[in-house]
Amino acid sequence: TLFIVSSKSGGTLEPNILKAYFFDQAKKVLGDKVGSHFITVTDPGSHMEDVAKKDGFWKIFYGEKQIGGRYSVLSDFGLVP
């Protein structure tokens, strides 16, 4: 199973709550290897990038900071999921 966490800033409540829930649930089964089942799409330098590195996510896809949220569907944010 691969979990995709998508958040430009990493500060949005809903993706953070869902990430925390599924990360904790998967960790019960996978143990320390849980991070290898998660990827993120986020902007460089975001809080989500820090979380992904700390939790050992398999891959970080970077968005373009200059592309606003409503237009980001045409970037990695819309293409990865």
CATH architecture, domain defined by 3-79: 3-Layer(aba) Sandwich (3.40)
For residue 32, pLDDT over 80 is answered with yes
Rounded to whole angstroms, the Cα distance separating 71 from 12 reads 17
Per-residue pLDDT of 33-57, as tens digits, reads 999 999 999 999 999 999 999 999 9
For residue 1, pLDDT over 80 is answered with yes
> Is the model more confident about 21 or about 11?
21
Rounded to whole angstroms, the Cα distance separating 7 from 77 reads 8
Return the domain boundaries, the chain: 3-79
Please report which confidence band the pLDDT of residue 63 belongs to, taking 50, 70 and 90 as the band edges: confident
Please report which confidence band the pLDDT of residue 10 belongs to, taking 50, 70 and 90 as the band edges: confident
Rounded to whole angstroms, the Cα distance separating 54 from 47 reads 11
Q: What is the DSSP string of 27-74?
A: HHHHGGGGGGGEEEEE-TT-HHHHHHHHTT-SEEEE--TTS-GGGGGG
